[in-house]
Amino acid sequence: MAAKRRSSRAPRSGALRRVLVLHGPNLNLVGIREPGLYGHATLAEIDTRLRELAGELGVTVDSFQSNSEGALIDRIQAARGLVDAIVINAGAYTHTSVAIRDALLTTELPVVEVHLSNIHKRETFRHHSLVADIAVGQIAGFGPDSYLLGLRAAASLLRARK
């Protein structure tokens, strides 16, 4: 098992800390797709709540959703030097994408993994995350609040790094 990643990158000075929030495949259908499992809040509503919380926490949030693994990887790679932390719900790619894992590693940024549902109470194939061992932590099972808790964790990490 790989060791937990610790970044030696110093945070950007002077500016508000920026957090990239990534939403993976099918998360564009949140609120419509299996609301008993994922809840009724739409992705737009979740992003609005994230921006509101970011203001309270003194950070900024950039959100991005894609069903395409390549687009998510491109966005992760572009984040290096532009953001200070990543909050990611890689959706089904959590369990399958070595490429997303590798892209996250190359940023040398703190990563917080989030999931709307508790992946450990679901099908066995969802119990393993390819992101977990490189993330600072994982938050799962709190519906849309998982994202808010993830943003709080990322902001706390960034405050501690000042």
Catalytic residue among 23, 40, 93, 115: 115
User: What pLDDT is stored for residue 32 in this prediction?
Assistant: 83
Q: Which residues of 45-82 are buried (b: 16+ CB within 10 A; e: fewer)?
A: ebbebbeebbeebebbbbbbbbbebeebbebbeebeee
Give the mean model confidence (pLDDT) for residues 41-67: 97
Alpha helices in 17-136 (DSSP H): 35-38, 43-57, 69-79, 98-107
Q: Please say whether the beta carbons of 23 and 64 come within 8 A.
A: yes
- Nearest CA to 104 among 5, 24, 16? 5
pLDDT at 37 over 70: no
User: What pLDDT is stored for residue 11 in this prediction?
Assistant: 45
8-state DSSP, 148: H
pLDDT at 77 over 50: yes
Q: What is the pTM of this model?
A: 0.86
User: What pLDDT is stored for residue 35 in this prediction?
Assistant: 63
Catalytic residue among 23, 38, 93, 147: 38
Domain ranges of the chain: 17-160
pLDDT at 128 over 60: yes
Domain 17-160 in CATH 3.40.50.9100? The answer is yes
| Range in 1-5, 31-35, 66-70 the model is least confident about | 1-5
Q: Rounded to whole angstroms, how far apart are CA atoms 153 and 6?
A: 16
Would you call 128 a catalytic residue per the annotation?
A: no
Give the mean model confidence (pLDDT) for residues 114-138: 82
8-state DSSP, 16: P
Would you call 93 a catalytic residue per the annotation?
A: no
